[in-house]
Chain A
Amino acid sequence: NAGVTQTPKFRILKIGQSMTLQCTQDMNHNYMYWYRQDPGMGLKLIYYSVGAGITDKGEVPNGYNVSRSTTEDFPLRLELAAPSQTSVYFCASSYDGQPNTEAFFGQGTRLTVV
């Protein structure tokens, strides 16, 4: 049982480049989330999705886009990379949106923008 899988694990981007962070889950979870983790700041929610075809902004969505064409996949797109987007990105999923439902996290993608 793979759980939540993120690729790549590490990436270095130049300013202005674009990339897609991949996230897939095999637990048939409806809810999926993207967080970014900055030192001393905890995790901040970027975008989330409550099901295929439905996405919504979180706390820090600027500079990012998402799509949810299938239940399994929730890619995060950076169109014009900026140094401020240097961070560790975590994808998570949960069966539903109830707060007592455990969220499962991927291992993270460490992104550096230079």
Chain B
Amino acid sequence: AQSVTQPDIHITVSEGASLELRCNYSYGATPYLFWYVQSPGQGLQLLLKYFSGDTLVQGIKGFEAEFKRSQSSFNLRKPSVHWSDAAEYFCAVGARAAGNKLTFGGGTRVLVKP
């Protein structure tokens, strides 16, 4: 069965600093990987996704993620954080045969200091 681990429950970063959120997955075949963001009181919004091809994918709001098969990782990065990036971030894995049912990690809550 597929699984996703986000090792960091909370991360605090200063505005303007860089951000990296870790995600490790377990899946037997080539995974479909996603990062979602949940702003306070909101639903989940898709930031970016990876299926194949270039292992560095660009998303919305200036985020990018890199797929590393050898490390089973799909870490999310942003070079310069804005106060509006304070939110909870979820990594998820989907499987071709799973009917688009996603398996989510536990989430990482990001706090941005002024």
Residues of chain A at the chain B interface (Cβ within 8 Å): 4, 31, 33, 35, 40-45, 48, 50, 58, 90, 92, 94, 96-103, 105-108
Residues of chain B at the chain A interface (Cβ within 8 Å): 4, 6, 9, 32, 36, 41-46, 49, 51, 90, 92, 94-96, 98-102, 104-107
Chain B residues with CB under 8 Å of A50's CB are 99
Chain A residues with CB under 8 Å of B106's CB are 40-42
Q: Determine how close the nearest CB of chain B comes to the CB of A59; give it in whole angstroms.
A: 8
Known contacts A42-B4, A42-B90, A42-B105: A108-B96 contact under CB 8 Å: no
Chain A residues with CB under 8 Å of B6's CB are 42
Docked Cα-Cα span, A98 to B51, in Å, equals: 11
Chain A residues with CB under 8 Å of B104's CB are 35, 42-44
Interface contact A105-B100, CB-CB below 8 Å: no
Residue of A nearest to B5 (CB): A42
Chain A residues with CB under 8 Å of B100's CB are 31, 94, 96-99, 101, 103
Chain B residues with CB under 8 Å of A102's CB are 46, 49
Known contacts A90-B43, A105-B44: A97-B49 contact under CB 8 Å: no
Docked Cα-Cα span, A29 to B57, in Å, equals: 26
Interface contact B90-A48, CB-CB below 8 Å: no
Chain A residues with CB under 8 Å of B102's CB are 43, 45, 103
Chain B residues with CB under 8 Å of A45's CB are 101-102
Show 22 A/B contacts (Cβ-Cβ < 8 Å), sorted by A: A31-B100, A42-B90, A43-B92, A45-B101, A45-B102, A48-B99, A50-B99, A90-B43, A94-B100, A96-B100, A97-B98, A97-B99, A98-B100, A99-B32, A99-B51, A99-B94, A99-B96, A102-B46, A105-B36, A105-B44, A106-B43, A108-B43
